Chains A and B, each alone.
Chain A
Amino acid sequence: MNKDIAIKVCAGTGGVASGGEEVLSAFRNSISSAGLEATIYEKCSAHRVGCRGFCAKDVLVDVIINGEKTTYKHIKPDMVARIFDEHIMKGNPVTEWIVGEAYFNFHNKQTKVVLSHCGEIDPEDINAYIAVGGYKAAKKAFASMSPEEIVDVVKSSNLRGRGGAGFPTGIKWELGLRIESDIKYVICNGDEGDPGAFMDRSVMEGDPHAVIEGMIICAKATGSHHGYIYVRAEYPLAVKRLQMAIDQCKQSGFLGNNIFGTDFGFDLKIFQGAGAFVCGEATALMRSIEGKRGMPTPKLWRSAEKGLWDKPTVLNNVETFANIPRIIMNGANWYRNLGTDRSGGTKVFSLSGKVKNTGLIEVPLGVTLRDIIFDIGGGIEGEKSFKALQTGGPSGGCIPAEFLDTEVDYESLAQVGSIMGSGGMVVLDETSCMVNTAKFFLEFTQAESCGKCTPCRIGTKRMLEILERITSGNGKEGDIELLEELGHHIRATSLCGLGMTAPNPVLSTLRYFRNEYESHIRDKKCPAAVCKDLITYSVLEEICNGCGACKRACPADAVRGKRKSPHRIDPEICIKCGTCFDACKFKAIIKI
C-alpha cells in the first residue's frame, strides 16, 4: 500500500510561539523512529509552513494523506504520538482534535490572493514557490513586457497602496519610470508597527518570494537597479526567511547582475529597522536607511523625484508588492474585478478583539464590516453585544454599529471617521470603554511621536493628559471641547501622517460615543465599568452565600464578613483590582 503523506506544521511567528518547532520535531522523530516500516511509506515529509492566519487555533497541523487533508488545531508535542499512531499509521483521524465549523467559516468567506501561498508552501524553499507558479510573472515581465506595459497593467488593476494611504500604485510607478536618474531605488516598507497588526509579517514569513518577485517586477518597470526591504528587527523570522529567499534568488539568477539572462541588474538588500513606529512613514524610513534618525522630513519633493539619498525612489508596502506577481499573471481585469470601482483586489486584515475567530483574514474590497465580524469572525464572544469596530490601528477610528453595513474601502472608511490603514481591526463589545480605548491608542502614538513637530510632540501629550484626567474622575466641563479643539489642531498642523491621524481615535469616539465622555466627566461613571477610578465593587447580599472565596482572594484585605453570611467590600481599602469579581462563582460581586 503506497501512501503519499505530507504533514504541514504552522511555523509562522504565532505558530512558533505556540510550540510549532517542537511539534514539527515530534513528527519528524515519529517518522524516523518508524523508519523500519519506511517501506510502507514511499513519501512522507514533514515541513514548516508560514502563518496560515488562524493564529487563535495555533499550533495548526495539516495531515494530508493521498491528497485528503485533515487539519488539527491546538496541537502540542505530546499529542503528536497519538495522531501518528491512529491517523497516519492506522488511517483513523483523531476526531476530537480536528478543527470545527468555525475554522471553515473563517476560511470560506475569504478570498485569498496575497495569503494564498501562506500555510501552503514551504517558505524556505524557492522550488516550492516555483512549483506553484512563482517567478513566472517576473520572467514574463522581463521576457515580453516593456516598463510601460507593466505600469499600464498595474495602473488598470486599480491596485492601491496597502500601507494605508491608498495611493494608486500604478501612478506611483509611472512617476518613478518617467523621472530620469542615474540611480533609482525600490523600497519595500516592511516596518509594520501598529499594535496587534501582523499582516505584513505573515506575508514576509509565509511567502517571502512573492514580495521579492513584486519588487523585481517594480525594478524592471521603473528602471531601478537597487532595492531595500526595510524590516523591523523585531521580526527575526521574517528577516531570516527574506534573506534566505534573496540568497536563493541570487543563486537562481533572479537577483544580482543579468537577471533572467538579460542585461538588467537588480541588487536587493535587507535593512533592519530598530522598531520605531514612525519609521513606517516613508520619509522617516528613508532617513533611517540613510543612517540618520528616523524622522519624517517635509515633502518638498515626492519620493518618486527625490527619495532615498535624494534619488528617485518607489516605495511600496509588503502587501502591495506581494499582489504584483498575481496581477501580472492573471491580468489587470481579474484583480480589478475582485474589488470595488475605486480600488481593486483584496485586502488583508488582522482581526482581533472580542470576536470568536481572531487571526489574519483576506477579503475582497467592498465586503461589509458585518460580513467580516459576524461571518468570518463568527460574531461576538460570549453573550455580549457589539459596540464598535476600531480600524486602522492607532491612526484609525472607531466605527459604531450603525455603520456595520459600510463596504470596506479607503474612501468609505474615511467617510465614517476611520481609515483603512495597514489593516488592523479590533472588535469592541459592551465591556469596552470608548474613552479608555481612545486613551490606549493615544498613549501609543504619543510615545511613538518622533518629537519633531510641536502639535504631535506636545499636543498629543496634552490630549492624553486630558483623557487621563477624565478616566480618573477629574474631568472638567470644557474638557471635551478642549479635546476637540486640540484634536482638530493637531490634525491640521502636524508635519506627517502620524501626527495628523493621532487624534483620530479620540475624535471618532467623541463623534459616536460622546455620551460616554460625558458620563465620565459629569457623573464620574464609566458606563462600561472599565476605568478603575470610576468603578466600585460591591457585594449583592441577596446572592452572596458567604463562601469566603472573595475574602481569600482579596490582596488588600478589603473584604469583610463572617463565613456563611453575606460579605461586604470596604470601599476605602479596595484597590479595584477585580480579583474578587473573578473569584466569585455566584456572580454576587458587581462593579458599577
Chain B
Amino acid sequence: MVTLKIDGKKVTVRKLSTVLDAARKLDIPIPTLCHHPELSPFGGCRLCLIEIKGYPKPVASCTTFAKEGMEIITASPSLEKLRRTTLELILSDHPKDCMVCERAGDCKLQELAYFYGIRENRFEGERRIYTKKDNNPFVAREMEKCILCGQCVRICDEIQGVGAIDFAYRGLKTKICPPFEKDLDCEFCGQCVSVCPTGALTGKMWAHKGRQNFKEVETVCPYCGCGCNLTLHVWRNEVIRVSSKEDTINEGWLCAKGRFGYGFIHSPDRLAKPLIRTAPKEGVDLNKPQNSSRFTIHDSQFKEVSWDEALDYIAVKLKETKEKYGSDAVGGLSSARCTNEENYLFQKFIRAVIGTNNVDHCARY
C-alpha cells in the first residue's frame, strides 16, 4: 500500500495503482478520453495530465504509478490551459454534427467540450475524411469522429483476443481499421462499440431509435448459460438497444447475440393469439424459410381463439387422456427459456395436477 496526497487529501491505494486510480478513489474528477480500467494503460489523449511536486513537467496520471509521499495537484490554471488546448486540438479534427450524432448527450468528448466551453477553435485546419466501408450489419463506423483513443483496439485485442482492428498510417492520417482497410469482418461482439467514447462506433440497429428519455431495465441475457446482465433500453414499449454495465458479473462484456440479438422480441412472427388446430397434421417441411409458418401454416391449419377457449380445450383433452390412459400417458417438457418460477409451476402442475413425474426439459441439447 502507498499513501499519497492529491489536492491536499490523503489517500492510500494498493501498490501499482496509478495516480488516476488514486484520484478516482477520492472521487476527484480528472478528465480522460482514452482510459479504461479493464484495459492496458494507453496515455494517448493527454487530458489526464497532473502536476507532481518535484517533477519538472506535468505527467499523465493514467500512466504514472502512485508512489509513497507523492504530492499531486490535479487542477491548476496551467493544467487547465493544457487540457483546454488539447481539447481544442481534438475538436479541430472532429465533425461538428452533434445535432444528428447518435451519441449526442452520451458523448465524452461533447461533455468535455461543454465543460470547457469550447465554441471557437483557434486551430481549425485539415480534417480526416474517409470513404465509408460499412456493409456489416452491426457496427456503424463514422471514422471522422474517431479520436484515436485506442479503446476499441485494446478491447478487441486484450479482452476479446481477436485483434480485428489496429492503428494504421501515421501523422494526422492515422486511423483505426481492419487489415488492408477492408470492411469489418469479425465476431461482431460489439465490445468496441461499448467502449467508444464518441459517435465513431455505434450500433446500426439502434440508429435513430432515440437518444433520450428511454427507460433502462436491468435483466439477464436469454441465450447461453453465462447469465450476462443486460440493460434493455426501452422506448415506447420497444427495446431499442441492449447494453451492459461494468459492475456486472460479465463486467459489461457481451457477445454478438447478447448485444445485437434482441430483434426477435419485436419480430412480426411473434405469436399473439392462442391457436387451435383446424386441419389434420401434416409433416414439417423444413425447406420452407423460417418465417413461413406465420403466413402459411398459421392460417391454413389453425384458427385464432380466445385464451378461455384454448385453455378449456386443453383441460378437457388432458383430463380425457389422463382418465383413459392414466397419468403416466401424459408428459410435460419445459424449457431453459422459462424462468425458475415458471419451471417450478410447470413441474408442480405436471406432478400435482396431472399426477405423473413425466416432466423434463432441454438440458441434453
Contact = CB atoms under 8 A, between A and B. Distances in A.
Interface in A445-494: 446-455, 457-462, 465, 482, 485-486, 489, 492-494
B82 A450 contact: no
A452 B125 contact: no
A298 interface: yes
A499 to B, nearest CB: 9
A492 B174 CA distance: 22
Nearest to A492: B57
Contact of B58 (A295, A451, A492): A492
Main SS at interface, chain A: helix
Nearest to B63: A298
Contacts of B60: 298, 495
Contact of B150 (A452, A465, A486): A452
Contact of A298 (B41, B92, B172, B174): B41
A524 to B, nearest CB: 21
B129 to A, nearest CB: 14
Contacts of A278: 170
Contact of B174 (A300, A449, A462, A482): A449
Interface in B45-93: 45-47, 49, 57-58, 60, 62-65, 82, 85-86, 89-90, 92-93
B246 to A, nearest CB: 22
Nearest to B16: A300
A457 B122 contact: no
A535 B57 CA distance: 42
Contacts, number: 103
A278 B167 CA distance: 14
Contact of A454 (B41, B44, B57, B58): B44
B128 to A, nearest CB: 10
A278 B42 CA distance: 16
A37 to B, nearest CB: 59
Interface size class on chain B is 35 or more
Contacts of A457: 148, 171-172, 174
Contact of B92 (A446, A448, A462, A485): A462
A140 interface: no
Contacts of B169: 451
A495 B46 contact: yes
Given A447-B170, A452-B167, A458 B90 contact: yes
A299 B59 CA distance: 11
Given A455-B86, A458-B92, A462-B123, A450 B174 contact: yes
B171 A447 contact: yes
A450 B90 contact: no
Contact of B43 (A298, A482, A486): A298
Given A299-B63, A462-B89, A492-B82, A449 B58 contact: no
Contact of A493 (B86, B90, B167, B171): B86
Contacts of B282: none
Given A453-B43, A453-B45, A495-B46, A461 B125 contact: yes
A494 B43 CA distance: 9
Given A293-B166, A298-B60, A485-B85, A451 B41 contact: no
Nearest to B84: A489
Contact of A465 (B42, B62, B90, B125): B125
A450 B43 CA distance: 13
B65 A300 contact: yes
A226 B148 CA distance: 35
B85 A458 contact: no
Nearest to B91: A458
A276 interface: yes
Interface string A493-516: 111000000000000000000000
Contacts of B122: 482
A448 B65 CA distance: 29
Contacts of B63: 298-300
A291 to B, nearest CB: 11
A492 B58 CA distance: 7
B247 interface: no
B126 interface: yes
A454 B174 contact: no
A383 B68 CA distance: 62
A494 B44 CA distance: 9
B85 A461 contact: no
Interface residues of A, number: 33
B43 A495 contact: yes
Contact of A458 (B18, B166, B172): B172
Contacts of A297: 43
A286 B84 CA distance: 33
Contacts of A485: 85
A298 B167 contact: no
Contacts of A459: 89
Contact of A449 (B85, B166, B170): B170
A453 B174 contact: no
B170 A493 contact: no
Nearest to B163: A292
A278 B174 CA distance: 13
Nearest to A496: B43
B167 A295 contact: yes
A199 to B, nearest CB: 24
Given A482-B122, A493-B58, A446 B172 contact: yes
Contacts of A447: 170-171
A447 to B, nearest CB: 5
A452 B89 contact: no
Contact of A451 (B64, B90, B126, B171): B171
Nearest to B56: A492
Contacts of A453: 43-46
Contacts of A448: 170-171
A293 B125 CA distance: 27
Nearest to A449: B171
Contact of B148 (A451, A462, A486): A451
A293 B89 contact: no
Contact of B170 (A451, A455, A495): A451
A276 B169 CA distance: 10
B121 to A, nearest CB: 10
Given A493-B49, A495-B44, A495-B46, A458 B167 contact: no
A360 B162 CA distance: 47
A110 to B, nearest CB: 36
B327 to A, nearest CB: 66
B92 A452 contact: no
Nearest to A495: B43
Contacts of B172: 446, 449, 451, 457-458, 461
B171 A446 contact: yes
A454 B46 contact: yes
Contacts of A462: 89, 92, 123, 125
Contacts of A452: 42, 44, 148, 150, 167, 174
Contacts of A482: 122
Nearest to A277: B170
A26 B173 CA distance: 48
Given A300-B65, A462-B92, A489-B85, A454 B171 contact: no
Given A493-B82, A495-B60, A451 B89 contact: no
A457 B18 CA distance: 25
Interface in B181-227: none
Nearest to B78: A492
B63 to A, nearest CB: 3
Interface of A: 276, 278, 293, 295, 297-300, 446-455, 457-462, 465, 482, 485-486, 489, 492-495
17 contacts: A278-B170, A298-B42, A298-B63, A300-B41, A447-B171, A450-B170, A452-B42, A453-B43, A453-B46, A454-B90, A461-B172, A462-B89, A465-B125, A486-B85, A489-B86, A492-B57, A495-B60
The 7 closest A-B pairs by CB, nearest first: A451-B174, A298-B63, A298-B43, A458-B89, A461-B172, A462-B123, A465-B125
Given A300-B65, A447-B170, A494-B46, 9 more contacts: A295-B167, A446-B171, A451-B167, A454-B47, A454-B86, A458-B123, A458-B172, A492-B82, A493-B58
